[in-house]
Amino acid sequence: MMGGADGRTEALAHRAIVDAVIAGLVKPRRGMRVVSADASASAEGDVDVVVLSGRGRTDAEVAEVMGRARGLVGETGIVALVVGSLAARELGEVARDIDARGAAPKDGRDAYGRAIDWARTRRGVVAEDLEPERLGAVVDAAAAAGLVLVEPDTATLSPALARIRGMRSPRARALLATVALGANARPMLFVPADRAPKGGLARWKAERIADGWVAAADGAAPSSADHDLRQTALAVLHDAAREGRRAIPFKELLREARDRWSLAARARGERVAVGSSDIVELATFLVRRAADETVLLYALDPADPGWTLTALDV
């Protein structure tokens, strides 16, 4: 590791790599080069991942940063612009103000109460919010530099968003996912135009995280349910956190969750069946929970990622 990287820098880089892996844009490996074009104008090309912040810039500055990022990633790397949503930030400020005043917490019985409850439990990394009206300028600057925004189908991260029609362009899908899902730190992925998927639509496969690591997010409510494999996995994650295990391998999580769920099901007199579909089911669930920021996913071991990481200039 190099460049004085701190926990925030690492967290943003991990998020960018996870999304890029799920989208099939990079393959995780030890020795990956991760840098920031914000700080690394002198870095050489063939960088695996360039992480950018969403802080305010003029159109000329955006064009310069995107051009520099394009030069860094060569033909095989990706650029990740990590952004937050204004709505999520303001909800967080309201939640903190309620707590500071000692006011009675919202009970989540209406939409506003649920939103405040959501904001109250988010204790992880927060990226600068990108104003919706600035998104077009960023995408256009990237295109001028030879980079294409790649986004998944909105239903991938939230089945409820599948009912929203007309979200065909990557720009529209990015705006919807960032704002509607209340993102605190969401990577927008850009790849060289020559290898961008048709229409900028990523073929996300959640099971690509099966060789990765999973942890409970700070502030997420613990789960004690054991009525299905997914909820049991959440309980395993929270137990692991209490035991001091920062993150556990996905396959270890799957095994522990299967064992605990099977024992509970048999105690209730229920039949137990496990199969290969468990991997996809659990992976899909965890990817969606990661988008909701209630779990953390890692494509590289967070205890020893084996990367070269240059600190972000944020």
pLDDT at 44: 61
Q: How confident is the model at residue 39 (pLDDT cuts 50, 70, 90)?
A: very low
Of the two residues 21 and 128, the one the predictor is more confident about is 21
**For the ranges 20-24, 91-95, 171-175, which has the lowest average pLDDT?**
91-95
Q: What mean pLDDT is reported for the chain?
A: 82
User: What per-residue string of b and e applies to 147-158 under the rule 16 or more CB within 10 Å gives b?
Assistant: bbbbbbebebbb
Q: Which residues pair with 148 in a beta bridge?
A: 191
Higher pLDDT, 193 or 40: 193
Clarify whether residues 106 and 224 are in a common domain.
no
Position with higher pLDDT, 181 vs 211? 211
| Cα gap 288→293, rounded to integer Å | 9
Q: Where are the extended beta strands (E) located within the chain?
A: 33-35, 49-53, 78-83, 147-150, 186-192, 213-216, 248-249, 295-298, 308-309
Confidence check: pLDDT of 31 > 80:
yes
| 8 Å CB contact between 157 and 291 | yes
Please tell me which of 28-42, 82-96, 177-191, 215-229 the model is most confident about, judged by mean pLDDT. 177-191
Angle at 65 between CA 62 and CA 71, to 5 degrees: 140
Number of structural domains (the chain) is: 3
Percentage of residues in the chain having pLDDT higher than 70: 83
Q: Which pLDDT belongs to residue 265? A: 78
Amino acid at 250: F
- For residues 196 and 219, membership in a common domain is answered with no
- Is the same domain home to 16 and 165? yes
Look up the pTM and report it: 0.87
Q: What is the largest CA-CA distance in the chain?
A: 66
Q: Residues for the chain: how many in total?
A: 314
Domain match, 50 and 156 both: yes
Single-letter residue type at 199: G
Pair (22, 47) in one structural domain: yes
CA gap 167, 161 in Å, rounded: 10
How does strand 78-83 pair with strand 308-309?
unpaired
- Residues forming beta bridges with residue 5, ordered by sequence position: none
Residues 139 and 241 in one domain: no
Mean pLDDT lowest for which of 2-11, 205-214, 300-309?
A: 2-11
Q: Tens of pLDDT along 178-204?
A: 776 777 888 999 999 999 989 888 888
- Are residues 174 and 278 located together in one domain of the fold? no
- Does 156 share its domain with 269? no
Q: Which of 272, 259, 213 is nearest to 237 (CA)?
A: 213
Query: What is residue 245's predicted lDDT score, i.e. its pLDDT?
Result: 84
According to the model, what pLDDT value does residue 4 have? 45
* Domain that includes residue 102, residue range: 87-121
Give the bridge partners for 83, in sequence order: 186
